[in-house]
Amino acid sequence: MKQTVIQVDAFTSMPFKGNPAAVCVLEKPQSDEWMQLVAREMNLSETAFLVERDDGYNLRWFTPTTEVPLCGHATLASAHVLWTEGHLSEDKPARFHTKSGLLVAKRQREWIELDFPANFSEVTTTSPELEQALGVSIKKTLHNSLGYLVEVEAADVVRQLKPNFSLLKTLPVHGVIVTSLAEKDSEYNFISRFFAPGLGIDEDPVTGAAHCCLAPFWRGCLGKDELLAYQASIRGGTVKISYSGGDRVYLSGQAVTVMRGELVSIG
């Protein structure tokens, strides 16, 4: 049996930008071991696996080394694949049943809107080990279920950051978000980068889950419900945010298919 695999660049309208994800719409469920092996073979930050059910799709996400409970860009990519490959009519929302509950994606012209859980952060002490691993002076450190959220003084600090990934792996968290206000003349409100060597990803190009943390944080700082964010990795990507408080945040991005292939070995 052959299995189609589609690679999508998410949170961008241009090929080879944003964050690449592989998407497999499975005809039947496969074992955790098989899905992990496929994710390792694809060697992207995330590979998504979907299985159709009566009221939507079961969706799971794997990095090359582990399964994760939430992934924004691979959810965006999955919705894009369902619509563009004819699995789902473009006027219907994509409903995903996941380890983070029900997630819904809706088509908004050339954008895809994701309904995700907000992730709240609490201020914590900045450890010397964290500053040493990042190699920069930290303005504020917060903690959430994803890891640390670190605010630094300026956008150029975020852009020029060169972490020590070996030291980052020794921290008691899986991920570190680094963020600041965007440049004064920028169209963006804030920028960020996300590092997760503990999950097998030194730097994730564009991270939906991180923006579930960043939305409440920057709304609190700026007092704005509508925000435009840029994740300043080498590939780069844009995220529209709508968050007016509460436990749900709406993230919007674009997506483009860049590759279509077949797995010739399937369990």
C-alpha count within 13 angstroms, C-beta hemisphere, residue 204: 31
In this structure, what token pair is assigned to residue 169? 């792996």
C-alpha count within 13 angstroms, C-beta hemisphere, residue 90: 9
Which residue in the list 33, 46, 151, 183 is annotated as catalytic?
A: 46
Which of 182, 222, 229 lies closest to 207 in space, CA to CA? Answer: 229
In this structure, what token pair is assigned to residue 145? 């279920």
In the chain, which residue ranges form alpha helices assigned H by DSSP? Answer: 32-42, 72-84, 128-134, 155-160, 165-168, 208-222
Give the DSSP letter string of 182-197: PPTT-S-SEEEEEEEG
In this structure, what token pair is assigned to residue 160? 């020029």
| 46 belongs to the catalytic site | yes
Which of 53, 44, 2, 52 lies closest to 25 in space, CA to CA? Answer: 52
Give the integer Cα–Cα distance in Å for 161 and 107: 35
| Catalytic residue ranges | 46
